């Protein structure tokens, strides 16, 4: 019998339940995946806490695994598919599971160079980072500031910004400076005096700020350093963005959803070629998903977390 995690109602991790369920046979335009790895993201718990969507709701937005059934006349997003093919999928519902039936339009062939854990953690962070760079118009020769540069989205921003020819100054704790530098950024410590430290590192100024953390400090420093408020984007401070006339993006927004869907194939290609790295910190058994979620909520785990059925 297949098993999956569901959230029974809005709330904290105490509303999550690990239950048996029947996996529906795939219809036209669908495939069934035996999950080998599921990604763990802040959104998994945050959306439940906020009461987003209907309840009970299955948890988990991205997976990697092996195709076990294919609906009639069905191809996946990357082309033809057969039972036994290794794939990754995003954006789906119910990825914290042993098996899941999903829309084939959200499924891509898994590059052989990626582990299941890496593949299962590629696209939520990767597409978010891509959209942040897109809406701020980051390009060749730009110097930009990234708040939270050592986190999952920040690390993807560092790599994708480098491909655009941009210079990145990235905030992090001193213990995480090596991560920022390792992915091509110039680390700066957050905290009191951040604005002045950035000005010393980039006396010519920064043209855009990308906020992955949502603190008042990040927004205040961005406002002080970036002249054009249309080139300040946040994924974590929507209220401040409304107050200050900044750009806020989120996966549930139609424009965000459409853009992120449009870049999935290219991100898979880059990762397969070794041009986009997904650092994995730890793996947990699927049954211990709440321990993984608590770790992610409570501290910086040093990379992505993986659930393995």
Structure confidence at residue 17 (pLDDT): 98
Structure confidence at residue 301 (pLDDT): 86
Structure confidence at residue 299 (pLDDT): 74
Structure confidence at residue 298 (pLDDT): 84
Structure confidence at residue 302 (pLDDT): 85
Predicted TM-score (pTM) above 0.95: yes
Structure confidence at residue 53 (pLDDT): 87
CA dist., res. 123 & res. 127, Å (int):
6
Burial class (CB in 10 A: 0-12, 13-18, 19+), 65: buried
Structure confidence at residue 1 (pLDDT): 87
Q: pLDDT tens digit string along 186-208?
A: 999 999 999 999 999 999 999 99
Contact 111, 124 (CB under 8 A): no
Q: Which residues of the chain have pLDDT under 50?
A: none
| N- to C-terminal Cα separation, the chain | 13
Structure confidence at residue 169 (pLDDT): 98
Domains and CATH numbers, the chain: 2-122+278-308 (3.90.180.10), 125-248 (3.40.50.720)
Residue in 84, 58, 63, 83 with CA at minimum distance from that of residue 71: 83
Contact 186, 201 (CB under 8 A): yes
């Amino acid at each position: 019998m297949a098993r999956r995690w569901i959230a029974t109602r809005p709330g904290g991790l105490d509303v999550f339940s690990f239950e048996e369920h029947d996996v529906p046979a795939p219809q036209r335009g669908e495939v069934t995946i035996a999950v080998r790895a599921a990604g763990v993201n802040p959104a998994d718990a945050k959306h439940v806490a906020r009461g987003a969507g209907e309840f009970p709701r299955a948890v988990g937005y991205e997976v990697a695994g092996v195709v076990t059934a294919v609906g009639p006349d069905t191809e996946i997003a990357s082309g033809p598919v057969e039972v036994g093919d290794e794939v990754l999928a995003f954006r789906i519902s119910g990825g914290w599971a042993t098996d899941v039936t999903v829309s084939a339009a959200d499924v891509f062939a898994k590059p052989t160079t990626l582990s299941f854990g890496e593949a299962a953690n590629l696209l939520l962070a990767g597409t978010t980072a891509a959209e942040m760079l897109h809406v701020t118009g980051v390009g060749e020769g730009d110097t930009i500031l990234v708040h939270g540069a050592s986190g999952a989205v920040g690390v993807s921003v560092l790599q994708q910004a480098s491909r655009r020819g941009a210079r990145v100054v990235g905030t992090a704790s001193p213990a995480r400076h090596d991560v920022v530098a390792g992915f091509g950024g110039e680390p700066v410590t957050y905290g009191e005096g951040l604005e002045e430290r950035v000005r010393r590192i980039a006396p010519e100024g920064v043209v855009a700020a990308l906020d992955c953390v949502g603190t008042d400090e990040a927004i205040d420093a961005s406002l002080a350093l970036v002249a054009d408020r249309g080139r300040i984007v946040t994924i974590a401070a929507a209220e401040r963005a409304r107050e200050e006339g900044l750009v806020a993006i989120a996966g549930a927004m139609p424009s965000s959803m459409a853009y992120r869907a449009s870049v999935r194939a290219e991100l898979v290609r880059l990762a397969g070629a070794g041009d986009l790295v997904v650092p994995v910190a730890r793996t947990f058994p699927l049954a211990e998903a709440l321990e993984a979620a608590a770790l992610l909520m409570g501290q910086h785990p040093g990379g992505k977390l993986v659930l393995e059925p």
